[in-house]
Homo-oligomer: A and B are copies of this chain.
Amino acid sequence: MIEREPQPETPENVTQTIARLDHVMDTLPKRLRQCAVFTRHHLHLIAVSTVSDMASASGVAPSAYIRFCQAVGFSGYSEMQTLFRAQYTSFRPDYEQRLAQLSPDVSQGSGELLAEFAESGHQSLIGVGNSVANEGLARVASGMAQARIVHLVGLRRAFAVVSNMSYLLGKLDVPAVLHSNIGNLHAGLVAGSGDVMFAITFAPFSEETITQAHAAAERGVTVYGLTDADDCPLFEFAAEVLVVKEHEVAGFRALNASITLTTALSVLVGAQRAKT
């Protein structure tokens, strides 16, 4: 028998899996490539689907899908699924330990840490493509597109996210105001009829942000929100609240999901506005 390519090693995390996927993509036969293409765009489904689900979604027989898993370096579907499920169960025993040894020896760990954050970013992004947020996104976008002015509110961790939105919306000629609390301008009072507010707050929720959003809502301003927890006070008065789940490393939550979602949102708003 002809010597096969050096047997690929089992991917150990999402990052490696994606890398290998991209790598083998071109070398696979038709059906297996279908699996690769579909899977690449629906990574988040792996954790909650059976082989048959993934196979039929890929337009392929279950046996083919398993062959695909093997081509990517796993022993079968179960092994691959375990890897993608791990992110939800990530109170993994060794996780806290690993991070505990983070501070003792930092110099050695700089590459390691970066890789951890990259991995964490991948995991955050996997969650972003699906779920409820999708549907609400279109509604929020069209609401914002019709606004006279969009008020952006977000403090602390959320500030970077609204900064980015502010930049993007500006570039797209969408009238937007980035509210910082410099100079005590109170967004809730500045906003007027026909305006829309987009407020971002992550747990533990910023009092200031909530207050401003609430004030705006009471003045009849449509408030949209983005948060990372189901018990966010924004739900009480916002017209729509988007939810992202960010993965975290060593207590530092990533921003990948939030930034990606809000970037897409901004572009949607810009596009919708340009049309009118």
Contact = CB atoms under 8 A, between A and B. Distances in A.
Nearest to A145: B106
A92 B54 CA distance: 11
B45 A47 contact: no
A172 to B, nearest CB: 9
B118 A260 contact: yes
A129 B110 contact: no
A211 interface: no
A117 B129 CA distance: 9
Contacts of A99: 38, 57-59
Contacts of A15: 125-126, 129
Given A99-B58, A252-B168, A117 B260 contact: yes
Given A103-B271, A122-B125, A268-B106, A47 B49 contact: no
Interface string A89-128: 1111001001100110011101101111111111001101
Nearest to A161: B160
Copies of this chain per assembly: 2
Contacts of A110: 134, 137-138, 141, 264, 268
Contacts of A64: none
A24 interface: no
A4 interface: no
Contacts of A53: 89
Interface string A143-184: 000000000000011011101100110000000000000100
Closest 10 CB pairs of A and B: A160-B164, A110-B138, A160-B163, A114-B264, A48-B85, A118-B129, A117-B264, A59-B99, A57-B95, A160-B160
28 contacts: A15-B125, A34-B102, A47-B88, A49-B85, A56-B95, A87-B131, A90-B130, A90-B134, A91-B130, A107-B272, A108-B271, A110-B268, A113-B267, A114-B128, A114-B129, A114-B260, A114-B261, A117-B260, A117-B264, A117-B267, A118-B126, A125-B125, A160-B163, A160-B259, A254-B263, A255-B263, A256-B260, A259-B259
